[in-house]
Chains A and B, each alone.
Chain A
Amino acid sequence: NAGVTQTPKFQVLKTGQSMTLQCAQDMNHEYMSWYRQDPGMGLRLIHYSVGAGITDQGEVPNGYNVSRSTTEDFPLRLLSAAPSQTSVYFCASSYSRTDRTTIYFGEGSWLTVV
């Protein structure tokens, strides 16, 4: 059981480039979300999804797009990378029918924008 899988683990981008961080879960979880982690600020919610075809903005959505075409996948797109988007990104998922407060996190994706 792989849990929440994020790719790539490390990425360096140039300012203005676009890229997609991939997130997949194999637990049939309805809820998925993306957080970014910055020193001294903890984790902040970027976007989240309550099911396939449904997404919404979190606390810091600017510069990011998401889609949820399947239950399993929740990619995060950086449209035009900026140095301020240098961060560690975490994908998370949880399950509604039993206990959605048990949130599973991926191992993180380290992104540097130069």
Chain B
Amino acid sequence: AQSVTQLGSHVSVSEGALVLLRCNYSSSVPPYLFWYVQYPNQGLQLLLKYTTGATLVKGINGFEAEFKKSETSFHLTKPSAHMSDAAEYFCAVSEASNDYKLSFGAGTTVTVRA
């Protein structure tokens, strides 16, 4: 079974500052890892995913994440926050044998200060 822990339910950053959202996972097999973003009253949009290959993954809107197996982590970063980045972010994990079944973290709400 797999699970995800997102550290920090709320993160507040200044516009132009680094965004860092932390995600740790547990999985008995090599994981597939995802970051989704949800804007108010909307569905989920995939930011990026790691399945195999390069451990540094680049996604949409300037976000990237690095898979670190030794630390069981998949932290999401963006060098410079924009007001439009205010949203809720979810880390999720699946396993190769059931990669359509996601286990989600509790989510991190990002607010961006002008």
A105 CB contacts on chain B under 8 angstroms: 43-45
Partner of B106, one of A40, A45, A106, A107: A40
Q: Hey, which bits of chain B sit against chain A, CB under 8 A?
A: 4, 6, 9, 32, 34, 41-46, 49, 51, 90, 92, 94, 99-107
Report yes or no: B100 in contact with A42, Cβ–Cβ below 8 A. Answer: no
Report yes or no: A48 in contact with B101, Cβ–Cβ below 8 A. Answer: yes
B103 CB contacts on chain A under 8 angstroms: 45, 59
Report yes or no: A100 in contact with B99, Cβ–Cβ below 8 A. Answer: yes
Interface size classification for chain A = 20 to 34
Report yes or no: B42 in contact with A42, Cβ–Cβ below 8 A. Answer: no
Q: Mark A98-114, 1 if CB is under 8 A from B, else 0.
A: 00111101111000000
Report yes or no: B43 in contact with A45, Cβ–Cβ below 8 A. Answer: no
Within 8 A of B (CB), among A64-114: 90, 94, 96, 100-103, 105-108
A107 CB contacts on chain B under 8 angstroms: 42-43
Report yes or no: B101 in contact with A58, Cβ–Cβ below 8 A. Answer: yes
A-B pairs with CB below 8 Å: how many?
A: 57
Closest CB of chain B to A79's CB: distance in Å?
A: 23
A90/B44 contact (C-beta < 8 A), A41-B106, A43-B90, A101-B94 known: yes
Report yes or no: B107 in contact with A94, Cβ–Cβ below 8 A. Answer: no
A59 to B103, CA, bound (A): 9
Report yes or no: B107 in contact with A31, Cβ–Cβ below 8 A. Answer: no
A41 to B101, CA, bound (A): 16
| In the complex, residue of chain A having the shortest beta-carbon distance to the beta carbon of B36 | A105
Closest CB of chain A to B90's CB: distance in Å?
A: 6
Q: Among B9, B42, B44, which residue has the most Cβ atoms of chain A within 10 A? A: B44
Q: Mark A27-48, 1 if CB is under 8 A from B, else 0.
A: 0000101010000111111001
Q: Among B43, B46, B105, which residue has the most Cβ atoms of chain A within 10 A? A: B43
6 CB-based A-B contacts, threshold 8 Å? A40-B9, A43-B44, A44-B104, A58-B101, A101-B49, A106-B43
